[in-house]
Structure 1
Amino acid sequence: MQVGAGVPFTFVHAADLHLDSPFKGLSKVPAAVRDRLRESTFSALDGLCELVRTEKVDFVVLAGDLFDAADRSLRAQLRLQRALGELASNGAQVFIVHGNHDPESGRRAQLDYPPGVFVFGSGDVQCLPAHTRTGELAANVYGISYPTPAVTDNLALRFKLREGAPFHLALLHANVDGDPSHDNYAPCKLEELSASGFHYWALGHVHDRRVLREYPHVVYPGNTQGRSIRETGGKGAYVVSVSESGSIDMRFQNLADVVWQEAVVSIEGVEREQELKNRLLTVVEEIRETAPIRRPTIVRIRLEGRGDMHETLLEPSVAEEWLEELRESLGAPEETEAWIWPESIDVRTGGLLPLETVAEEEGFLGELLRSGIVAADVEQLSEALLDEAMEALRRQPRIREWLRSRTHEERVQWIHQAMELSVSMLRNDETG
């Protein structure tokens, strides 16, 4: 796609700030970890302001879910107001749309935003001019907010170009091509966005950083701060520079104040507890040493592989005992700025014999494993099997909703873990 002759400019594309996210399940973590996490979304916002200042950015686009809940906390609203004032004082315009977490229908405090901050409404797509710091027209910015949390219309079809600008940027909170890991709000297709005539689609909603296409650019920057072990790695925003000829250069900037990581430790070849301890400590030190920027890290350790330690790891409380030992070896989080806190140890190990080998046996165990292997390979069967196994739990609304949100890969993992546990228990019964 060709871009008309214009002036060079730079903007920041961020989304999904989720300010004041509650970070559930922190009751048993040390105060230093809990406090740092609860402040982390605001620290990422501070980092965004610093990025705009140091990069001398012309304008900022924020693609929805600035707040974590429709009824925004007063604390989050006041902190955003302060940040927007800082951005405006640094000479940057700010363009905002609201998404499913912070729709227009949510409860809001009556707070004034500074001049140069524009919030798109939900009635129809609006078009606003974005200027460089020297006052020259850089682009037309288009956007529309969510009126309510659940928007199922294809909002992308409402975006229409208006002449008069060298560059056209569309700001939208949406699910492109029906990503199953996110709610299917404002669903649209990549081919629709690509053929729309816009030069850059600044998207929000998906928390993973993704560049779906270049020229025209269709981009998810991800969220600015990971909120759980499901959101690992660097989180932040894109600094996008557009040249006079229209070429686009994108640089990702990590703004996360706390990083979530998942590390894998294999038990293959491990015969003694000391060997397992050494591997656990080694992987944690590797995380510390390879981090590009020293910052607090919360890590989940996943034990994998087949080996002699499998039977021991299945015993009640053993994984928790290893977790406590690892935490004590690393020291208290308040003793260092760039602490590492092991969040959990996830046991996904197997016995020395592969399940497929045991499944060839005659009898109840072989038949059980053959059924489980078939179910794991077919999504509908795996879902049906787990529904049947968890029928009593599904009567609880919160548990039912949680089960619905699990991915096919997670269901398959549960089935494999259940089969490994079955092999261990039935083998022990046979030899006991």
Structure 2
Amino acid sequence: MGVPFTFVHAADLHLDSPFKGLGKVPDAVRESLRESTFGSFRRLVDTAVLEGADFVVLAGDLYDMADRSLRAQLRLQRMLTELADEGIGVFAVHGNHDPESGRQARLDWPAGIRVFGSGTVECAEARRRDGTLAAHVYGISYPTAAVTDNLALRFAKREGAPFHLALLHANVDGDPGHDNYAPCRLAELVGAGFDYWALGHVHDRRVLHEYPHVVYPGNIQGRNIRETGPKGAYVVRVSDTGEIRMDFRDTAEVLWREVSVSIEGLEREQQLKERLLRAAEEARAGAAGRPVILRAKLVGSGALHRQLLRDSLAEEWLEELREWLGSPDERDDWVWPESLVVRTSREADLAAIGEEDGFLGELVRRGLQAAEDPMAGRTFAEEALETLRQQPKLREWLTSRTDEEVAGLIRRATETVVAMLQDEDAG
């Protein structure tokens, strides 16, 4: 029989993330993003206090870079001191973004803050605020950025506590969307004898297993349009019998959103304007007063599709949408459209054209086949872009695209070529 206690599980703080590619955004947007990781961590600290947490675990990537900024280190020290002053302990490890080998300022941590080293898996006692032993917490940091060993195999439970919590920054079961650092298998974690694996590294919130719990909380603040929606941490309550209850708490300071706006049934540009504005205002209303960086994706098929294929038209719509929504300098709950992408289609027309003989029919058939078959699509794109792939940045960009994105590119390219050829014939 154990004792009831509460802890907060967070990971991937990425304090002082630089948010690259912000050269053309308004000052208010740039400054909000620059401060967002700190604001999110402030929300995390406040959550731990308000929820009555006994301790907090931070599963790696506290900082965004190995040579962490002094500003990030001083902010972290200050906020961890606030937790210590409340009697809330903190247990942390470093991950691939902030390994031990990175440059660090000589700062003192307050009592009750434990950052595990990289030499071996260490074990520490986690206590409730009244001093009662609640759990053993285990952890190991990354010595350098690229750790390819299976660190999970080094964990061994030490008797003497009613609950055992393992802290690990790792890629479980080879998630292809993340660097394969400290790779391990879910079956290894489940069979290791621990009650809770507090994971970091994957920025999506996932519960991989229950009893024992194997959990990714995701990062606390989205850093780009691929990290949309709520971001935060889990408040975990453990009963005296070992029952676990998890509650997610959103700590994001700035929200990234992607909305789909259909052109189905639209005949006039005015109707599209109204749908875009409505989608943006709905995103604002759902943000609970926080700023939103928005990507609008035009989807569906309709009368406006052919016009939307015109060069620069999407950029014109984007600039106008920004004007309609107003300057981010004028209100705190601003919405800034970062892009407008056209993913509309004329699938029925393409299918009919693909049945025709001749060059156009053959072109459409090949394009549709490549868009529907991921392997064929990859091959098609690589062959078509062979010259461009000689440029490192373009090669990296193409390699990072998902199969769905490649399919979308091929489909849109096919539609654009068809529209151009038909316009030429009509002229």
- Structure 2-normalised TM-score? 0.97
Aligned equivalents of 2:199, 2:101: Cα separation in 1: 21
Aligned equivalents of 2:50, 2:325: Cα separation in 1: 35
- Aligned to 1:134, which of 120, 123, 130? 130
Larger mean Cα displacement after TM superposition, 163-172 or 307-316 = 307-316
Aligned equivalents of 1:302, 1:410: Cα separation in 2: 13
The one-letter code sitting in structure 2 at the alignment partner of 1:303 is L
- Aligned to 1:326, which of 321, 327, 333? 321
Aligned equivalents of 2:69, 2:360: Cα separation in 1: 54
CA distances 1:205-239 after superposition (whole Å, capped 9, x unpaired)? 11011111111111100000000110000101110
Larger mean Cα displacement after TM superposition, 227-236 or 356-365 = 356-365
SS at 1:353 equivalent:
helix
Aligned equivalents of 1:198, 1:377: Cα separation in 2: 44
State whether residues 284 and 291 of structure 2, in contact with CA within 8 Å, keep that contact through their aligned partners in structure 1.
no
Q: Specify the alignment match of 1:406 in structure 2.
A: 401
Confirm whether residue 229 of structure 1 aligns to residue 225 of structure 2: yes
**CA distance 1:405–1:258, change in 2 (3 Å):** same
- Aligned to 2:386, which of 367, 391, 397? 391
Confirm whether residue 429 of structure 1 aligns to residue 424 of structure 2: yes
What is the aligned residue count?
Answer: 427
SS at 1:139 equivalent:
strand
Percent pairwise identity? 65
Q: Specify the alignment match of 1:199 in structure 2.
A: 195
State whether residues 213 and 219 of structure 1, in contact with CA within 8 Å, keep that contact through their aligned partners in structure 2.
yes
**Considering only aligned residues, what root-mean-square deviation do their CA atoms show, in Å?**
1.3
State whether residues 308 and 352 of structure 1, in contact with CA within 8 Å, keep that contact through their aligned partners in structure 2.
no
Q: Specify the alignment match of 1:316 in structure 2.
A: 311
The one-letter code sitting in structure 2 at the alignment partner of 1:265 is V
Aligned equivalents of 1:384, 1:144: Cα separation in 2: 41
SS at 2:348 equivalent:
coil
Confirm whether residue 367 of structure 1 aligns to residue 365 of structure 2: no
- Aligned to 1:357, which of 347, 352, 356? 352
Confirm whether residue 343 of structure 1 aligns to residue 317 of structure 2: no
State whether residues 296 and 340 of structure 1, in contact with CA within 8 Å, keep that contact through their aligned partners in structure 2.
yes
Aligned equivalents of 2:389, 2:397: Cα separation in 1: 9
SS at 1:107 equivalent:
coil
Q: Specify the alignment match of 1:67 in structure 2.
A: 63
The one-letter code sitting in structure 2 at the alignment partner of 1:381 is A
**Shift in Å at residue 284 of structure 1?**
1.3
**CA distance 1:336–1:166, change in 2 (3 Å):** same
Aligned equivalents of 1:57, 1:13: Cα separation in 2: 10
SS at 1:404 equivalent:
helix
CA distances 1:336-382 after superposition (whole Å, capped 9, x unpaired)? 11111111111011237343332222111221222222223333322
Q: Specify the alignment match of 1:305 in structure 2.
A: 300
SS at 1:88 equivalent:
helix
Aligned equivalents of 2:373, 2:102: Cα separation in 1: 41
Q: Specify the alignment match of 1:155 in structure 2.
A: 151
Which of structure 1's runs of 4+ aligned residues deviate more than 4 A?
none
Q: Which runs of 5+ in 2 are unaligned?
A: none
- Aligned to 2:77, which of 78, 81, 101? 81
Q: Which runs of 5+ in 1 are unaligned?
A: none
Q: Specify the alignment match of 2:169 in structure 1.
A: 173
State whether residues 308 and 351 of structure 1, in contact with CA within 8 Å, keep that contact through their aligned partners in structure 2.
no
